[in-house]
Structure 1
């Protein structure tokens, strides 16, 4: 485990609220630089995921000095904040809002360390070897004891300082303060939560929180609102949370709610109010005119109340404020208030996009976020290995003549992810066999894979773990005819894509000065060169991008799969960003530019890559992609059950041979065996 930062060891836990980013720009502040400096020799490469980075003494001293200043400022601000009045024991002991016993007996609307301790493990030092030393451990600070000394949090067992798994209450507070510090005076922020989405009738989808709302609060219940008003107080802003009140009848059906007291005690609100359209509407009508700058997600049609179930499922502010049905609009008792608020939200001189402001900070990940994304990538990588080896296992169990379906491979991936703690798939998986892989977003996943097929499967899948997404694509050979090996055409095309992936990944660093757009242009040129090397295929850039490589080289990754959509692709890569790198080649059936052996091959290989100052870390490095590794997995060499079956078969074969030899020896000693029906002759001796 990395040594704790010196500055952190000097401060009690309740004052450890560092600014994650500079208030004046999106550049990373001391908190991130303290744990994530530029890599020198020994940096992690895309194929050596567990080698630790080294940090020079000069960089360490600079980081500590910078952090000391930020930490001192954070300590002053935190002293007066309600949420930062944790006592010893944090959320699990005698904490804000009541005694330890009363807190422990309460159940809230989401998992917390004292209600679900198994979801909030204090990471052991050994687990930190998965991450670079400069990123620090999951909880890289010391805890105060009763005598004022500091103790290693790795010995505590439960991460009571975390609000959601892996992310502390302090970090959520730092996110809010960083955002508010970056906004001009006389600013107000209004962020709406997500809403329960309906599939059909009264059948609902599993709830997922609106991204920016979750990033700022960690609050995971629907139908809530966050209001932050910038002021000159020690905290820098006033925080108001509108949440659903406790309701015995509703909670009997839908589970517990955090309620108004929990919104203050646990989520740090200065004020908490019951969420209903009229109360929020009245509150906004009262406070919005007081501010010059309003940061909210403006509705697409600010003059119209909600009219459809589809619009009601979106976190549009008018969906929370308008009357329950269009027919009731004319007799809506708060009609004048509604129209006044709509007018304010329609004023483009005062109303600004909240997402654009938040995503300036979201695009660069904190050390805690990077660790969460590495865990998500590791879970998906482990599931990907099981998918690659599934057909070999299936053949061992049921024989080579029994086909495997794309749906079985999808189910295997999702099951293996859930088994390792993932809450949901990050997106609908692509499990495309044969020519289906030439459809970029093929999600039917309803075809058979073998027997007798000499094809490939391209699987693009990832999980969401503790709020963060992973996104991995691998391609591998299928069909008993191949025996788990690439044929020559498959290997040529696969190695062309893999070589491009490696070359583009090597360009990913802040120092290189590349943007996603420039990486894409470079990937097109590299693929063109690879195709020329395979068989002299002379293809122009326009042809390549139009048919053989029609998608982009990658995207930002984080809480959302296509994260921070307001950040242009032309943005230079900065330290702490996470992107995907996913080159691909797709040769459709009947493409006369290629020999028939290439027809119907769709190959994409994708990794999740962390941008560092002078290098990169491939977060998904545990998902094998080298030809030899992929073939070994497809042949079942890493599947324990297949190995056991092979050992048992070998033992059975050896045992059978021994019995045959024994019978043969006994027969020789006793003389020839008489024909059936005739007695053996007596020995003359």
Structure 2
């Protein structure tokens, strides 16, 4: 395995050097979010409900609350959200009460839980990884100050015997740098008293798809009992904050993108005819976790041959054939931050003539789209239009689409061969900040995917037979900077020569 890693790292070293050594001026948190003052805090010592710099120094540096991110940054995020919500409404005569729940545990069967994954919005504001916690921020009318209250499960020796340590109320305020911390069982009474004594109040709570269905009835009942309450949704404002990454977040994204990139390179090295798709999936997961990821970002696509024409194929249970291409869509999650990478390569280790034509066509389109991001800063929807035009033109030049069509007809045929969007935001969620529409121009410190593809089904008689039954996608994660776009997943090889030098070089 060591010799294999040396091979993979050598071929990908060009990408690693660009990711970690390329110099561009990264704006500080104060430049990205001007007007904020950092507040110094220290991390308390003790055994809590999540890792700290004292218990897990191999994961978290001193003075950081979570890997890479300080208490001060979480406080600044809360302040930014409160200021943004108040500015949106423009009414300082109301008390603003903002309720952001964490996720609750979910179960695959009786007493068998899924791996817990914190609600991204809640984590973004608190750094708290404990289930069923709730953040409440109260900004009284006619004041500039606000109070942050964190509701958590209190210490319970019986529960902790089974589930592990809890932080508890007495330590939570200090650990998470909030003003107060109370047992989550008291959330309803707190909200009722606060709203009742603050009328008229504006309560901000995302109630359409509640993050925690267990506490949602409590919040809903409090709303019903206070008929003067006006309900607003904080999620849109929160997503507009999340879509712009801080310097600390960018460093975390670099790391998870590199981890994901190397797992793809390892999967290439282990690909051989008659190996199962499931084995490639296992290699992706093993190599990601070995490099520091908690788990994969999503169930990966490992699709050989015509199965790659099914965009969300995740069965991953067929054998790979010598004359097939394999399409992999995967990503790693590290401290809740995600990478999202797609690569396509020949199972045999050598591109056939027609596979190479299609592959280099998609690669040329992808490279041009990344250039367009830097040259024009388009909205992602406009980038999709550019992809359709570029794909259509390239397919015509190769004789795959008729040359006597143009305009909307050509765009339509290109869209039929690539029916998914070419880009989405990326960060704490794979499809990050979903309430930020893709019709706004990209800006510095956004991270987006660029993922053109071609999917030609075996029965598609509009395409020459030699190109049928093939799916190809090439996807990279791209940081928008003040200068050229910065490809965070550049360590995942994608040039034809590099791919052919890796595929199949490890004996399973």
TM-score by length of 2: 0.88
Residue number among 286, 294, 318 corresponding to 1:423 in the alignment: 294
Equivalence for 1:513? 377
Q: How does 1:380-459 map to 2 (within 5 A)?
A: 380-391=260-271, 403-450=274-321, 453-459=322-328
Equivalence for 1:52? 22
Q: Quick one: distance in 1 between partners of 2:224 and 2:285? A: 43
* Residue 111 (structure 1) aligned with residue 35 (structure 2): no
Structure 1 residues 493 and 225 mapped into 2: Cα distance closer, same or farther (>3 Å)?
A: same
* Residue 315 (structure 1) aligned with residue 211 (structure 2): yes
Structure 1 residues 223 and 486 mapped into 2: Cα distance closer, same or farther (>3 Å)?
A: same
- 1:67 deviates by 5.8
Structure 1 residues 520 and 70 mapped into 2: Cα distance closer, same or farther (>3 Å)?
A: closer
Higher relative CO (Cα under 8 Å, sequence separation at least 6) belongs to: 2
Structure 1 residues 448 and 342 mapped into 2: Cα distance closer, same or farther (>3 Å)?
A: farther
Structure 1 residues 47 and 572 mapped into 2: Cα distance closer, same or farther (>3 Å)?
A: farther
- 1:230 deviates by 1.7
Q: Quick one: distance in 2 between partners of 1:266 and 1:193? A: 17
Structure 1 residues 67 and 486 mapped into 2: Cα distance closer, same or farther (>3 Å)?
A: closer
Q: In terms of mean alpha carbon deviation, does 246-255 or 167-176 score higher?
A: 167-176
Partner secondary structure for residue 240 of structure 1: strand
Partner secondary structure for residue 235 of structure 2: helix
Equivalence for 1:525? 389
* Residue 273 (structure 1) aligned with residue 182 (structure 2): yes
Partner secondary structure for residue 424 of structure 2: coil
Equivalence for 2:190? 283
Residue correspondences, number: 480
TM-score by length of 1: 0.66
Partner secondary structure for residue 434 of structure 2: coil
- 1:541 deviates by 3.7
Equivalence for 1:100? none
Equivalence for 2:106? 197
Q: Quick one: distance in 2 between partners of 1:240 and 1:431? A: 44
* Residue 501 (structure 1) aligned with residue 339 (structure 2): no
* Residue 571 (structure 1) aligned with residue 440 (structure 2): yes
- 1:231 deviates by 4.5
Structure 1 residues 380 and 513 mapped into 2: Cα distance closer, same or farther (>3 Å)?
A: closer
Structure 1 residues 233 and 161 mapped into 2: Cα distance closer, same or farther (>3 Å)?
A: farther
Residue number among 238, 258, 262 corresponding to 1:378 in the alignment: 258
Structure 1 residues 67 and 457 mapped into 2: Cα distance closer, same or farther (>3 Å)?
A: closer
Deviations 1:23-77 (A, max 9, x none): xxxxxxxxxxxxxxxxxxxxx999944553355xxxx9xx89x869957x616xx
CA RMSD in angstroms comes to 2.7
Partner secondary structure for residue 449 of structure 2: strand
Structure 1 residues 48 and 119 mapped into 2: Cα distance closer, same or farther (>3 Å)?
A: closer
Partner secondary structure for residue 554 of structure 1: coil
Partner secondary structure for residue 80 of structure 2: helix
Q: Quick one: distance in 2 between partners of 1:296 and 1:574? A: 28
Residue number among 162, 167, 179 corresponding to 2:69 in the alignment: 167
Structure 1 residues 235 and 203 mapped into 2: Cα distance closer, same or farther (>3 Å)?
A: farther
- 1:536 deviates by 5.6
Equivalence for 2:5? none
Structure 1 residues 595 and 541 mapped into 2: Cα distance closer, same or farther (>3 Å)?
A: closer
* Residue 352 (structure 1) aligned with residue 232 (structure 2): yes
Q: How does 1:73-152 map to 2 (within 5 A)?
A: 74=37, 78=39, 84=40, 86=41, 90-91=42-43, 103=45, 106-120=46-60
Q: Quick one: distance in 1 between partners of 2:49 and 2:285? A: 26
Partner secondary structure for residue 449 of structure 1: coil
- 1:118 deviates by 0.8
Q: Quick one: distance in 1 between partners of 2:471 and 2:363? A: 13
8 A Cα contact 1:177 1:236, kept in partner: no
Equivalence for 2:503? 634
Deviations 1:259-314 (A, max 9, x none): 001211111121111112xx2111111112425322111246xxxxxxxxxxxxx5
Partner secondary structure for residue 344 of structure 2: strand
Equivalence for 1:675? none
Q: Any runs of at least 4 consecutive aligned residues in structure 1 with deviations exceeding 6 A, and if so which?
A: 44-47, 232-235
- 1:537 deviates by 1.8
- 1:508 deviates by 1.3
Structure 1 residues 265 and 458 mapped into 2: Cα distance closer, same or farther (>3 Å)?
A: same
Q: Quick one: distance in 1 between partners of 2:339 and 2:463? A: 34
Q: Quick one: distance in 1 between partners of 2:411 and 2:111? A: 48
Equivalence for 1:592? 461
8 A Cα contact 1:298 1:351, kept in partner: no
Partner secondary structure for residue 220 of structure 1: coil
Equivalence for 1:208? 117
Q: In terms of mean alpha carbon deviation, does 606-615 or 280-289 score higher?
A: 280-289
Equivalence for 1:8? none
Structure 1 residues 48 and 111 mapped into 2: Cα distance closer, same or farther (>3 Å)?
A: closer
Q: In terms of mean alpha carbon deviation, does 511-520 or 244-253 score higher?
A: 511-520
- Where structure 2 has 5 or more consecutive residues not aligned to the other structure, the ranges are 1-13, 87-91
- 1:513 deviates by 3.5
Equivalence for 1:341? 223
Q: Quick one: distance in 2 between partners of 1:423 and 1:69? A: 30
